[in-house]
Amino acid sequence: MNKTIIVSNRLPLQVKLEDDNLNIKPSVGGLATGMKSVHAEGNGIWIGWSGLTEEELNENLSEQVNKAVAKEKCATVPLTQSDIDNYYLGFSNKTLWPLFHYFSEYTVFESEQWETYKKVNQKFADVVLEHINDGDTVWVHDYQLLLLPKLIKDKKPNTTIGFFLHIPYPSYEIFRTFPWREELLHGMLGSDLIGFHTYDYERHFLSSVKRILRLDVKFNEVSYLDRIVKVDSFPMGIDYKKFENAALKHTNQEDDEKSELQRRLDDHIQSGSEAKMILSIDRMDYTKGIPNRIRAFEYFLNKYPQFKEKVRLIMLAVPSRSDVPQYQKLKRETDELVGRINGQFATVSWTPIWYFYRSMPFENLIDLYTSSDIALITPIRDGMNLVAKEYVATRTNQDGVLILSEMAGASKEMNEALLINPNNFAEIADTVKYALEMPLAEQKSRIEILQKRLKRYSVEKWAEEFLKSLNNTKQLDAVIVAE
């Protein structure tokens, strides 16, 4: 039976060493959370990095890791500390991530890191090649593995290969600054289908292909060597039922089933303070606009002082890539801003910002989503943003307001949210006020339309459409051969 092999840098589970024992946790981030349910349904395996380096593993631990991941239908690619330094922390997160998110000033171009990026993509290819049989499909994910499609296609030309980019694809003017631009594009074009979250990313990619490689592009098809590579947009959805059911279960839970966090949130709601809750959840990443959000909240409190003690911002920031200096800087800046604003505005009975810098279990995410009146999501640039969609899915009473940055891919399908420019503090402040005062009927009519759309375009549907389109490329190839 043919199978689909998923390949990404990060597996859906992340292994860490704590006091010489393995600690296995679900991975955070849109790719892992989104693909998890797709993988669970399928019959294939997921290949990726376990989260531990070769230096951290001895034979016994290695065996334990392999057993643990095999239970989840996963297989690992062994990476050394130097691979992680140069390929993951280095080239992926100091070059591609900032460049593709338009943070050119953060982007470094180091040829040693580029060499390791190539070498590690080859390591992934070697593991994939061990696992594929004729007729299998390989689905490669994200910016850490842009060269992988070509490496597989060169060795196994009959394998059907799909590639999906989970982050933005930048405009040609940005992409052309990348020193190894031709090689990167050739790597991606090893695929039969290349998918992006939005039409804008797709058109930027096609523009790069035309202008840099001078290839013939007709509509969304690229003529490449003796093949056609199809390019299309597939906005990723969420596992809607999972979030809806968790929220429904949550509303019916007895007092003794409640989490510690939920009890505190309840205390807050029942304290009679009438303070409304504004929520934000992100990985601690400079693309997410965290300092902007805090400054905009400060601007709001100054401009509309009548809301002091009547509103609270709850910020959950999940530690991410904390070995990269820009992320450390962001953490310091966030700590400082939260401290300053709480120091300036707090009263005996009110702290304006509750700030958590940690990962939380799924149940606590649901506690937060269901207890918040407003979600304030303000990325400077974001490929999609699944948190926005998850918030909407948990609003089973159809109340609540989503404020969303127009720089998030999700904004393209979420017009009923209140869309803001994350750099315009005055606009954010006015929108927060508007959201706080929005009549229930308007909240419901907005959320209802959003929910209908999200339900229809769930992550299952997204995967199904991508794989259907990928499968159609096989038929396209058959026609070309017959001609």
Contacting positions for ligand ADP (CB under 6 A): 28-30, 33, 281, 283, 316, 318, 359-360, 365, 384-387, 390
User: Residue 209 and residue 67: Cα distance in Å, rounded?
Assistant: 42
Q: Which is nearer to ligand ADP, 116 or 262 (CB)?
A: 262
Q: What is the rounded distance in angstroms from the CA atom of residue 70 to the CA atom of residue 45?
A: 9
Min dist. Cβ of residue 434 to ligand G6P (A)? 30
Concatenating the DSSP letter of every residue in 253-298 gives --GGG--HHHHHHHHHHHTS---EEEEEEEES-GGG-HHHHHHHHH
CB of 123 to ligand G6P, least distance (A): 17
**Do 287 and 382 form a contact (C-beta atoms < 8 A)?**
yes
**β-sheet with 353-357: strand ranges across:** 353-357, 311-318, 276-283, 374-377, 401-405, 418-420
Q: Which residues pair with 48 in a beta bridge?
A: 76
Q: Does 459 bind ligand G6P (CB under 6 A)?
A: no
For residue 457, the minimal CB distance to ligand ADP (Å) is: 15
Site string for ligand G6P, 309-338 (x = CB under 6 A): -----------xx-----------------
- Judged by beta carbon, residue 387 or residue 420, the one nearer ligand ADP is 387
Is the CB of 192 or the CB of 382 nearer to ligand ADP? Answer: 382
The entry of ligand ADP, ligand G6P, none near residue 318 (CB within 5 to 8 angstroms by kind) is ligand ADP
Q: Which is nearer to ligand ADP, 101 or 156 (CB)?
A: 101
Give the shortest CB-9-to-ligand G6P separation in angstroms.
6
Residue 246 DSSP class: H
Distance CA 214, CA 310 (A): 58
Helix 386-393 × helix 30-41 angle, to 10°: 60
DSSP letter for each residue of 115-156: HHHHHHHHHHHHHHHHH--TT-EEEEESGGGTTHHHHHHHH-
- The Cα–Cα gap between 278 and 376 comes to 6
Q: How far is the CB of 29 from ligand G6P (least distance, A)?
A: 3
Interface with ligand G6P by CB under 6 A: which range of 25-33, 68-76, 426-434, 445-453?
Answer: 25-33
Pairing of strands 227-233, 221-224: antiparallel
From the list ligand G6P, ligand ADP, none, pick the one residue 365 interacts with, judged by a Cβ distance below 5 to 8 Å according to partner type.
ligand ADP
For 410, counting Cβ atoms within 10 Å of its Cβ (0-12 exposed, 13-18 middle, 19+ buried), the class is buried
Buried b (16+ CB within 10 A) or exposed e, 57-89: beeebbebbeebbeebebbbbebeebbbbbbbb
CA-wise closest residue to 231 among 207, 248, 252: 207
Shortest separation between residue 90's beta carbon and ligand G6P, angstroms: 12
142 binds, among ligand ADP, ligand G6P, none (CB under 5 to 8 A by kind): ligand G6P
To ligand G6P, the closest distance from the beta carbon of 202 in angstroms equals 17
- Which residue of 136, 142, 382, 390 would you call a contact of ligand G6P, by CB under 6 A? 142
- Quick one: what does residue 359 bind among ligand ADP, ligand G6P, none, with the CB cut-off 5 to 8 Å set by partner type? ligand ADP
β-strand 21-26 against 13-18: which pairing, if any?
antiparallel
Residues 179-238 close enough to bind ligand G6P by CB under 6 A:
none
Angle at 178 between CA 175 and CA 180, to 5 degrees: 120
Q: Whose Cβ is closer to ligand G6P: residue 324's or residue 417's?
A: 324
127 binds, options ligand ADP, ligand G6P, none, Cβ within 5 to 8 A by partner type: none
Q: How far apart are CA 392 and CA 402, in angstroms?
A: 7
Question: Which does residue 387 touch among ligand ADP, ligand G6P, none (CB within 5 to 8 A, set by kind)?
Answer: ligand ADP
**Which residue number places its CB atom closest to ligand ADP?**
30
Q: Which is nearer to ligand ADP, 33 or 396 (CB)?
A: 33
Count of CB atoms situated within 10 Å of the CB of 429: 21
Q: 394 near 371, Cβ under 8 Å?
A: no
Question: Looking at beta carbons only, is 52 or 459 nearer to ligand ADP?
Answer: 459
CB of residue 380 vs ligand G6P: minimum separation in angstroms?
15
Which residue's CB comes closest to ligand G6P? Answer: 29
436 binds, among ligand ADP, ligand G6P, none (CB under 5 to 8 A by kind): none
What is the DSSP pairing of strand 193-196 with strand 217-218? Answer: unpaired
Which are the contacts of 27, defined by CB distance < 8 A and separation ≥ 6?
Answer: 10, 11, 12, 13, 14, 33, 51
Among 10, 36, 39, 250, binds ligand G6P (CB under 6 A): 10
Longest pairwise C-alpha distance within the chain: 79
Name which of 386 and 470 has its Cβ closer to ligand ADP: 386
- Which lies closer to ligand ADP via its Cβ, residue 84 or residue 281? 281
Active site residues: 166, 382
Q: Kindly write out the interface string for residues 26-45 of this chain, putting x where it contacts ligand G6P by CB under 6 A and - elsewhere.
A: ---xxxx-------------
Can you give the binding site for ligand G6P, defined by CB under 6 A? Answer: 10, 29-32, 142, 166-167, 320-321
